Amino acid sequence: MGNVINKFVVAVPHQQAYVVETLGKYSKTLNPGLSFLLPLVQRVAYKHSLKEQAFQVTAQNTVTRDNVIVSIDGVLYLKIDDPIKCSYGALDPLNYAYILAQSTTRSEIGNLTLDQTFEERDLINQKILEQIKAATEVWGVTCLRYEIKDIIISETIKKVMNLEAESERKKRADILISQGRKVAEINLAEAAKKRKILNAEAKSQEIQLQASAIVQRINQLSFAIEKDCGQNAAEFNLAYRYIDTLKSMGGQNKNIIVNYNITNPEQVVQKSMNLIQDQQQQQQLLQNSKQTQN
């Protein structure tokens, strides 16, 4: 009696769907809850879980574009959305999706180099997910996620990659050192340039100050000569300069050739005064000429 009841009274658990056939043909889909069937006419042909399911994709050897063999495994997340398509669209849709994930992984890895395989893992996951999702849609199955777990390479390849990484780090360090030296040399050159400019400016200012002092001294002498007793002051200044110059010449351990008249101070002073007087006369004539014109 219990077996008869079980054949026409069906309790569907939560998050499951039962596909019912009537005389071998699809009839209806039973949702969670209590349902009734016609004995000997209707039967539950397929039972599907509507929960998300995770499948471990076992490790497989794949070859990268630069001919390096790597072992890759992953995790595939599937969910049945359409129990009817899942029942009649493929014989074993979940297993087919698993096999498709393996083949798609090999295909995508074959398009990338070893470095890209490590660097673009998220992009690989996205491409594999899109291809699986497009293929399983007709089976009533949705691929929610695909994640690559581990990428394993041989010890020989690991050593080569470590050497390449060390070489790249050394290369970057050498570049940084050379750039630092370049900057230091540029800074030193700029400092030397500025130092030369400052020295030249200082020398120019020194010359200008000396010239200004000489001009001022000449003006003072000229003004003093024009006054009373100015000639005596000029003679005294010339004699003082003359004696001071002879002292400096006598202190040098060198042979110096001079005019014979230089040993006669009176003649030297007299000649200098004559030059001054001539200059004064010329200035006076020039002033008189200007006054006449006005």
Q: How many CB atoms neighbour CB 270 within 10 A?
A: 13
Predicted local distance difference test score (pLDDT) of residue 1: 46
Q: From residue 144, how far is each of 67, 76, 86, 94, 273 by CA, in Å?
A: 31, 8, 16, 13, 115
CB-based burial label for 254 (10 Å; 0-12, 13-18, 19+) = exposed
pLDDT by position in tens, the chain (length 294) = 445 556 679 999 999 999 999 999 999 999 999 999 988 899 999 999 999 999 999 999 999 998 888 999 999 999 999 999 999 999 999 999 999 999 999 999 999 998 899 889 999 999 999 999 999 999 999 999 999 999 998 888 878 777 777 777 788 888 888 888 888 888 888 888 888 888 888 888 888 888 787 777 766 766 665 655 555 556 556 665 666 666 666 555 666 555 545 556 566 656 666 666 666 676 677 677 767 766
Contacts of 142 by beta carbon, 8 Å cutoff, 6+ apart: 78, 79, 80, 81, 133, 136
- The identity of residue 293, as a single letter, is Q
pLDDT at 141: 96
Q: What is the total residue count of the chain?
A: 294
Q: Please state, in angstroms and rounded to a whole number, the distance separating the CA atoms of residues 222 and 275.
A: 12
Does the pTM surpass 0.75? The reply is: no
DSSP 124-147: HHHHHHHHHHHHHGGGTEEEEEEE
Q: What pLDDT does 131 receive?
A: 94
Instruction: Report the alpha-carbon distance of residue 221 to residue 199 in Å, rounded.
Output: 33
pLDDT at 183: 87
What are the sequence ranges of the domains in the chain? 2-48, 52-153, 167-226, 227-288
Give the model's pLDDT for residue 158: 76
The domain defined by 52-153 folds into: Tetrahydropterin Synthase; Chain A (3.30.479)
